[in-house]
Each structure stands twice: as structure tokens, then as C-alpha cells.
Amino acid sequence: MRAVTIVLLAVAGLAQSGETPKPASSNVMNAPFPAVYADGRASFRLRAPNAAKVQLQPGGSDNGLGLEPIDLTKGADGNWTVTTAPAVPGFHYYWFVVDGLQVNDPGAQTFFGWARDTSGIEIPSPGEDFYLPRDVAHGQVRQEWYLSKTTGQWRRAFVYTPPDYDKNTSARYPVLYLQHGAGENETGWSRQGRANFILDNAIAAKTAVPMIVVMDHGYATSLTPPPPTAPATAPPAAAGAPAGGGRGAGVLAPPSAFEHVVIDDLMPAIDARYRTRPDREHRAMAGLSMGSGQALQIALHNLDKFAWIGLFSGSAPGGDLATSYSGAFANGAEFSRKVHLLFMGAGSAETRVTAANDTARAGLGARGVKNVVTFTSAATSHEWQTWRRCLKEFAGKLFR
Amino acid sequence: MRAVTIVLLAVAGLAQSGETPKPASSNVMNAPFPAVYADGRASFRLRAPNAAKVQLQPGGSDNGLGLEPIDLTKGADGNWTVTTAPAVPGFHYYWFVVDGLQVNDPGAQTFFGWARDTSGIEIPSPGEDFYLPRDVAHGQVRQEWYLSKTTGQWRRAFVYTPPDYDKNTSARYPVLYLQHGAGENETGWSRQGRANFILDNAIAAKTAVPMIVVMDHGYATSLTPPPPTAPATAPPAAAGAPAGGGRGAGVLAPPSAFEHVVIDDLMPAIDARYRTRPDREHRAMAGLSMGSGQALQIALHNLDKFAWIGLFSGSAPGGDLATSYSGAFANGAEFSRKVHLLFMGAGSAETRVTAANDTARAGLGARGVKNVVTFTSAATSHEWQTWRRCLKEFAGKLFR
């Protein structure tokens, strides 16, 4: 984390050659700013003639734009501008702070993160296009509305169907349930994450089998008051904050309201409305940050329903593995027969998470747990480029 | 328009009984403000301790929140608040102006309008639920990506499929192409417009036949420079501004880049990927405001492909109908054989549009054009509640 950050902040605003930066692909139509240079520097502009101070606040503990607020400089025309040092490739949340007020960038699309619609910028990754639309067959992302008995409310899930879904009308497909992070929602994996393009490209290259991916909203409040030890609603904490310890590492908590939604409401709806292979061998659950904790808890509670688990940037099994998680890992051979993959990924700058992943892999291995895979995303932190790469790696190992 | 506006502004901020307002359904999760009273008054709040002046700016010429900026009052806690007079039911764009800077409301979801992601508020409509999710079978809204030969870019369309689409795998369906207004995009009809719920409810009630609805992005720039008389890209003008006269009333303009996208790129993709009935009898085109102009132009250019036309809040055929639109209406009997419905709708407060619709209906009738229907939405203006009602009325008459 340190090295990446220092480079970012060291040369902010450095003037270079006459290259014209390109409007970010994440901009609203026709907006010239923010704009990105070939080396990843980004120029921001906000018109605020009356403001006394304008800063750019990167939205994360280290999301690729740095850690600290970046000052913009006022021009005679009332525009405030700054060019950052080269940013880490990928998607980054940010906002402006104008005389103390948090403000979105009118030139950028907003993305749901930090529990609000927040500006985002996409920095291209030289030589890396696994998450971009290529000229291959494309699947669809479908908005699926379902009435939840658990919450009493209509909920919306996003469902990726693979390119051949509507052609091979007798084929049935395995299903990955894929969760977002804290302060995000069901739109995150297809908008910030580009999960559909990642799957399209991997399926076209035959590095992943065709599958359905279900991306639900990770917050729920039960109509029935939960027991006092099981908070029904996780607070919408900062999306950038590492998660997974919220329930206490090593503890298998009582089922959350969200788990009831997944098991009692969502999964039956998906299996009824889509041509799924509705058995544990063909069902996976994964999530990022807060979602990794949800994936682990829900999968361990329901090993009759899930055989593949993915933990992105959080929730590596910890504690005394002989007894933690109510003894889920006590018998390594038994666990290995049930779970075909326990994947733990993180960004290289998330050193605490990568260390926890390594420790978990060693500890699980010592207990005879097989099928444990760790993955480290090079030169990224607790951010979407990490999770895009995690999805690519994880999806490539599923259902084989 | 006058009467509605005057009521809105007259009693803004009036204190009433102890009723607690409810967070708007358009808020981000857990946001207490904006909040709506049973009578349609709305309370707004923004924390801005350092600001000298905060106003609420309704985003439209008359979008239900009024015309003029509304002052907020600063409290000792640094929160600025206001309660408006009863707003018109439906969806309204708005933003705050903080010491001259346009700012979104962090408590509200953003919606693409006014050529940026803009705050919105939903005011319930007492006794009217045709656009809300009911416990009926639901269709899907699918994100469909296609590579446009016209623009050389990947484009995204939203496609509504009716509830039985995946069950009756041999059934084929008629298609409605449905366009948004200026400064909006392909997300507008399903997010602000709730087109999917309108169709779900109408299909369940058998007041509309099952159909596919294609909602594309209405802006395009051709790879090939257009002739000088045909601007390839319409400027993203304000969403609230009445449209339809941009190309000159009564003029059949050369095909726009967007028309090439629809005819050469989008329609072939839809007919290849969906079980459509790919003939003119089963294809309709409609749009709102700027989109009404696009619908009229594209349909008149392509009467071999469209037999049903809907114009919402704009573009009523004008001029000398014997010669205007290159003589499209010169032979009323011939036009009537081809076009089974020419629907023109508007809000009651859009008095210029409703007058133009009435004039067009009379003029077309005098030329022997049948199948002309006008519709006026009660007590609404150039805004989404008008267009939701237009869609319900129009869809109910299609393909029968």
C-alpha cells in the first residue's frame, strides 16, 4: 500500500509534454473533464467562481487516487483545476470538497458507493482488457424484481446470463451468487465491476464455463425482529474500509436477514425463473469486502447448497481452525469433499488481507483442507481493479 | 401550467400538523431526507454549515416542484431545510444551489437528466399505482450491448421482455422502440419512467398485449461526416425544454446518425437476438419530447418498418399538411392504410403542445387521416408523470 501511495502523491500536478488528455470513459456524454493522460495522470476541473477552497477527495483508504485530499487551483475564469500524479489503473470513487461541502463532479457519472451516488473515474490499464467490451458474443444483465417474504419488500437483483442462454433453450447453467461491498448495491458488479464483460470475454476464450451470475442488494431488514445477537442490517459503512471482521473473525454468526433473503427468497426465484442447475455442485457464492463475509457465512451455513466459495479482499478464515466457525474446518477431509474451491484474493497493497489469506491457506492446509487458492492482484489495493481480477481468476476455476 | 405553479409556490414552508413525513422512495438507502407528506409537500435538508445561501432548484420549466428557486433556511446545527408546498405527483428532477454552485442532494438517488446525473424525488400519486410494482408476473429489463457500425462504438440498449418471454419459448412478440428526452439517456424509461412496471401491470390486467420494449440511447455521432444540412448529433439540451421544433416543424429532415443506428444497427440486433415479430405491423416507435421528434422522423422515413407512432409532449405534425414532411400526409387514405395509430399525448399544463395536438388531429382528420388519438394527462406538465401515463395509454392501443 505504501509504495503505490507515495508514487501517486509525489508528483501531483507536474506539467509534462503537449499531450492532450482524453475524457474518461466514465464521464457523462460530452463532458471534457475529468480527462486522462496515457500515463494515468488525470486532470479534474470544477467551475466554482465563488468558492474559497476546492479539494479532490479520493474515495477510499487507498483506491488508486491516493489517500489525502488534493488541492485544486483557481483560475481567472472561475474554474478550479488539478492534474494528479499517475493513478493506479481501474475504477476509483472520488468527490470534490468545496468550502467543506462534499460535491459530485458534474462531468462524471455517479456510481453507488459510500452509501450514496458518488463520482467515479476509470483509468485505463495498459495491456489489460479482460474487463472491456470486445467483439465477442455478449451475454445480458437482466434486472430481476422479486417480492421478498423476509423483508416484505420488492427487491431488485441483477442477473447475468451467458451469450448462448437464449439460443440453447434446453441448456441449464451453474450459478454464481456475487456480492458487492459496504456502502454499495446491486448495481456495483455490472457498473463498477464490469462483471458481464469479464464473463463474456472469459467464456469466449473458454477460460470460464458459461454460467449465470446473480448480483443482489446486500442489505436487508427482516420483518421479524432478529435475536439480539444477530444484527439484521449491516450499517452502510465506507466502501473503502476493509471488512470481514464485523461479526468477529472466526465466529459463525446466526443467519442474517440477508442470508434469509438469499436462501428463502432469491434462490428459489432464480431457480424458478432461470434454467439453472439447482444443486450444490453447480452453485457458488462470492463477494468483495463486506460481501466476502456474507459469502463465507452463508456458504458455511448452507453447505448443502454451495460447493464453491470466493472471498475477495476480506474474511479469510481465522482463529483456531479446530473450533472456529462452529467447527466448520475441524474435519479437513470432510470439508474438502464438500467444498471444491475456497478462493481468497486481495490487492497487493492490502498487506493485512494478503497476510491473512496466506495464514488461512497454511492453517487450512495443515488441517487437510484442499482446494484452497490464494490470489494477489499486482499493484492494486482495496478497489475495483482488484475485484475485477479476482472475479476473472475465480470464475475461471468454477464448475470444472 | 399557471394554476399548478401558483399553488406550488403559494404556501411553501407552511407549518402543518404533527404528521411525520416519509423518506421519498427515490432516496438512497437509509437517507431520511427528502421526505414527503401525505399531501405531497416535501421536506428537503442539506448540511452545509459554511454556506451563505442555499436554494432548491426544480429541474424543469414546470416539473411539479415549481418554476423558481426555493430558499432553504439555515438552522443552528448547520442544516439548511425547507418544506415545499404540495408538489405534483410523479418524478421530479432537482438540485441544490449552494452559494452559486449546482450540487446534488446526497440523500437522493441520481437520475440521468439535464445531461448529468441529477437528483430526483418521487411524489406518490394518491389512487394511482399503474407504474408501481404490484404482485403480478414481472418481465425483465435487459442490458443489451451491441457494436454500432454507424458510430464505431459499443452502445447499450435496455430491453423489456414481458413476463412470459422465457416460458413460451416458441412465442414471438411485437416490439415498441421507445425514446427518452433531451439530456436523458437509455436508463430514463426504466428508472424515471418505470416502463417495466407499467407494462407488467397492463399485461397482467390484459389492457396491453405482451410486447418487447427497446429503450436505446438517443444520441449518436456518425463515423461518416453527414451532409451539412443534417446535424449528426443533437445537442444535449435541457430535459425540461419542449422539443420537436429543432429540425423545423413540418420538415422531413435527412436521416440523422441516430436514425442510422436504429435502422442499420439496433433493429437488426434486436430481431436477431429476441423472438420478435419482425414486420412493420408488429413494430412501433414512440418517444418523449426530443424523442417524439425522433420517433416521427424515423417512422415517416421508414413506413415499411413501422405501423404505430407515439408522440409524447411534442412534435405534433404541423405546417401545411398537404406538403409538409415531404408530403407524408398528402394522401390521408394511403397514410391511414399504413399507420394504424398516430398517438399524441401531453400534460394538461403544456398548453402549447395540447393545442398543437388538437390542431394536428383536426388537420389530419380533414385530410382523411384516421387512427389519430390525442391524450391529455390531467394536472401534469412536461414531466415524467405525463410520459408514464402516455405510455400506459399508448401501449394499451398497440398491436390490436
CB-based contact, B29 to chain A, within 8 Å:
yes
Among B60, B91, B123, identify where a domain stops. Answer: B123
Residue predicted with more confidence, A115 or A225 = A115
CB-based contact, A250 to chain B, within 8 Å:
no
Q: Are residues A105 and A145 in the same domain?
A: no
Residues of A in contact with B116 (CB under 8 A): 28, 31, 106-107
Q: What is the pLDDT of residues B211-257, one digit of tens each?
A: 999 999 999 999 886 555 544 344 334 444 334 344 457 899 999 99
**Beta A140-147 vs A22-23: how paired, if at all?**
unpaired
**Beta A54-58 vs A90-98: how paired, if at all?**
antiparallel
pLDDT tops 60 at residue B180? yes
Question: Which of A119, A142, A161, A213 is the best residue to mutate to test the B interface, defined by the most B CB atoms within 10 Å of its own CB?
Answer: A142
For residues B84-107, give the mean pLDDT.
Answer: 96
For residues B293-308, give the mean pLDDT.
Answer: 98
Q: Which one of B100, B140, B219 has the shortest CB-CB distance to A50?
A: B100
pLDDT tops 90 at residue B96? yes
Q: Which one of B116, B147, B274 has the shortest CB-CB distance to A28?
A: B116
A196 CB-near residues (< 8 Å, 6+ apart): A138, A139, A140, A141, A160, A190, A213, B143, B145
CB-based contact, B110 to chain A, within 8 Å:
yes
In a domain, B321, yes or no: yes
CB-based contact, B101 to chain A, within 8 Å:
yes
Q: Are residues B52 and B191 in the same domain?
A: no
pLDDT tops 70 at residue A247? no
Among A123, A151, A178, identify where a domain stops. Answer: A123
Inter-chain touch B106–A116, beta carbons under 8 Å: yes
**Which structural domain range is residue A80 located in?**
2-123
Strands (E), A61-193: 70-71, 73-74, 79-83, 90-98, 101-103, 110-113, 116-123, 140-147, 154-161, 175-179
Among A98, A123, A148, identify where a domain stops. Answer: A123
What is d(CA B1, CA B39) in angstroms, rounded to the nearest whole number?
A: 20
Inter-chain touch A50–B169, beta carbons under 8 Å: no
Q: What's the pLDDT at A17?
A: 61
Residue predicted with more confidence, A10 or B332 = B332
Q: Are residues B144 and B290 in the same domain?
A: yes
Inter-chain touch A143–B141, beta carbons under 8 Å: yes
Q: What global pTM score does this model have?
A: 0.91
First-to-last CA distance in chain A? 34
In a domain, A324, yes or no: yes
Could you tell me which residues are beta bridge partners of residue B212? B175
Q: Which one of B101, B146, B196 has the shortest CB-CB distance to A48?
A: B101
Q: What is the pLDDT of residues B27-51, one digit of tens each?
A: 999 999 999 999 999 999 999 999 9
What is d(CA B12, CA B14) in angstroms, rounded to the nearest whole number?
A: 6
Q: Are residues A111 and A155 in the same domain?
A: no
Q: Are residues B92 and B169 in the same domain?
A: no
Question: Which of A30, A117, A155 is the best residue to mutate to test the B interface, defined by the most B CB atoms within 10 Å of its own CB?
Answer: A117
In a domain, A239, yes or no: yes
Q: Are residues B292 and B161 in the same domain?
A: yes
Please count the residue pairs, one from chain A and one from chain B, whose beta carbons lie less than 8 angstroms apart: 100
pLDDT tops 80 at residue A231? no
Residues of B in contact with A238 (CB under 8 A): none
Q: Are residues B26 and B97 in the same domain?
A: yes
Q: What's the pLDDT at A65?
A: 87
Q: Which one of A50, A102, A142 has the shortest CB-CB distance to B99?
A: A50
Q: What's the pLDDT at B88?
A: 94
In a domain, A130, yes or no: no
pLDDT tops 60 at residue A316? yes
Q: Are residues B69 and B183 in the same domain?
A: no
CB-based contact, A351 to chain B, within 8 Å:
no
Q: What's the pLDDT at A235?
A: 38
pLDDT tops 80 at residue A234? no
- CATH number, position B80: 2.60.40.10
pLDDT tops 70 at residue A269? yes
Name the residue of chain A whose CA is nearest to B235's CA: A30
CB-based contact, A203 to chain B, within 8 Å:
no
Res. A102 pLDDT band, cuts 50 70 90: very high
Q: Are residues B206 and B178 in the same domain?
A: yes
A-contacting residues of B 117-136, CB under 8 Å?
117, 133, 135
Q: What is the pLDDT of residues A135-158, one digit of tens each?
A: 999 999 999 999 999 999 999 999
In a domain, B201, yes or no: yes
pLDDT tops 60 at residue B16? no
Inter-chain touch A141–B142, beta carbons under 8 Å: yes
For residues A386-393, give the mean pLDDT.
Answer: 98
Q: What's the pLDDT at A63?
A: 75
Q: Are residues B204 and B94 in the same domain?
A: no
What is d(CA B11, CA B13) in angstroms, rounded to the nearest whole number?
A: 6
Q: What's the pLDDT at B367?
A: 96
Inter-chain touch B100–A141, beta carbons under 8 Å: no
Q: What's the pLDDT at A368?
A: 96
DSSP per position, B107-166: TB-EEEETTEEEEEEEEP-TT--TTS--SS---EEEEEEEE-TTTSSEEEEEEEE-TTTT
Res. A255 pLDDT band, cuts 50 70 90: very high
B167 CB-near residues (< 8 Å, 6+ apart): none
**Beta B90-98 vs B54-58: how paired, if at all?**
antiparallel
- CATH number, position A258: 3.40.50.1820
SS3 A146: strand
Q: Are residues B199 and B258 in the same domain?
A: yes
For a pLDDT cut of 70, what percent of chain B falls above it?
Answer: 90
pLDDT tops 60 at residue A217? yes
SS3 A120: strand
Q: Are residues B75 and B151 in the same domain?
A: no
Q: What's the pLDDT at B6?
A: 36
Helix, strand, coil proportions of chain A in percent (round to 5)? 25, 25, 50
In a domain, B317, yes or no: yes
In a domain, B316, yes or no: yes
In a domain, B55, yes or no: yes
Total domain count, chain A: 2
Residues of B in contact with A145 (CB under 8 A): 133, 138, 196
